[in-house]
Amino acid sequence: MSNTENSLLLGIAQKFGTPVYVYDGNVILNQYEKITNAFASCKTKIKYACKALNNQHILKLLQQAGCGLDVVSIEEAQLGIKAGFAPDEILFTPNCVSFNEIKQGVDLGLVINIDNLSMLQQFGHTYGATVPCCIRINPHIAAGGNIHIQTGHIDSKFGISIHQLRHVIRIIEAENIHISGLHMHTGSDILDAEVFLQGAELLFECATAFKKLSFIDFGSGFKVPYKPDDVSTDIDQLASALTSRFKEFCKQYGSELEIWFEPGKFLVSECGNLLVSVNVLKQTTSTVFVGVNSGQNHLIRPMFYDAYHHITNVSNPTGKPRLYSVVGYICETDTFGWDRKIAEVHEGDILAIANAGAYGYAMSNNYNARLRPPEVLILNGKTTLIRRRETLDDLLATQIS
């Protein structure tokens, strides 16, 4: 982190207090441009997975850049529409919801993505060929480096098994359903283009059974760097391999289909830092703990997914590195990082927890009656508060007196 970035973050911490989420909007736009440029040779649509970060300002930023939206709940869809997305720009991919929620999606005009046989049959019985839909296929590919973020393996709750394709076709024929797209998402943190190509071949094989497709959606799962010198997905290499094969398939299929992706982490992870203050240094017989004024209530990924988030001391960036374990103030084991080399820490210092743009605030909660932090957006050098800090009144607002 440069001296300029350090100074900017310290200024934000001083102005808005800590803990505080800080997002760099230009990083988001650069990531969006990177993926659209990589796949420019195809008819490509990017659908931002808004579960990663759904603040209205972030949604509007991406909508104005030309991005579409991927949502997993009717409430996310409503947020997207409020942010300016047209309903037909929104892909609705829920799982284990009631059919009533599917019907709400149809009423809103969303692109519906069905991920189980029961919903497919109910959808067809209700709408027949009048409302097109997409099908989410589970290819049984265990992609990604962490079992917690794999969604394409055989025991996953997501998608319709590729081995159930014959049953799918029977339902489609019986109910006269118009299938407009095929979809898969195998997991996160995928490095190898071969994983996408393997999944692509399975989808291409499935696609031959559907004569009116307009798109194929390959999900996302692109890996971003978490540690200094960490590896990440080579988007250009992936695009070169996948678009070449996709164009071949389109010729065989007899139609130029659209290729869709739905990145979340790839677009917003690196834009974010969670700034926290050091409450206390606590030395035990084996460890020096840095206790901060945040915890799993604000950033649960390290505890939930065993995720790595790089931590720097922005108050003392040139200090001598020492070994610390950074922990939170929640009455649980909420460790942000074990045995980390961090520039010497003092009580009152400001630490920056990196890669906090994706699944940070979106997964935050009020455990221990703690309040959620504000969110700040930096865009073209301008700093804007885009969500205020919660108050005790916010906690009580929905309770009946």
Whether the CA torsion 360, 364, 370, 371 is positive or negative: it is positive
- What structural domains does the chain harbor? 3-22+269-385 (2.40.37.10), 93-263 (3.20.20.10)
Residues tagged active-site: 331
| Residue pLDDT tens, the chain, 401 long | 888 899 999 999 999 999 999 999 999 999 999 999 999 999 999 999 999 999 999 999 999 999 999 999 999 999 999 999 999 999 999 999 999 999 999 999 999 999 999 999 999 999 999 999 999 999 887 654 544 434 444 677 889 999 999 999 999 999 999 999 999 977 657 766 777 788 889 999 999 999 999 999 999 888 899 988 898 889 999 999 999 999 999 999 999 999 999 999 999 999 999 999 999 999 999 999 999 999 999 999 999 999 999 999 999 999 999 999 999 999 999 999 999 999 999 999 999 999 999 999 999 999 999 999 999 999 999 999 999 999 999 999 999 98
Using a CB cutoff of 8 Å and minimum separation of 24, what contacts does 334-341 make? 334/295, 334/296, 334/297, 334/303, 335/302, 335/303, 336/292, 336/299, 336/302, 336/309, 336/311, 337/302, 337/308, 337/309, 337/311, 339/287, 340/311
- Residues 256-282 as b/e (b if ≥16 CB within 10 A, e otherwise) read ebbbbbbbbbbbbbbbbbbbbbbeeee
- With vertex at residue 183, the alpha carbon angle to CA 177 and CA 185, rounded to the nearest 5 degrees, is 150
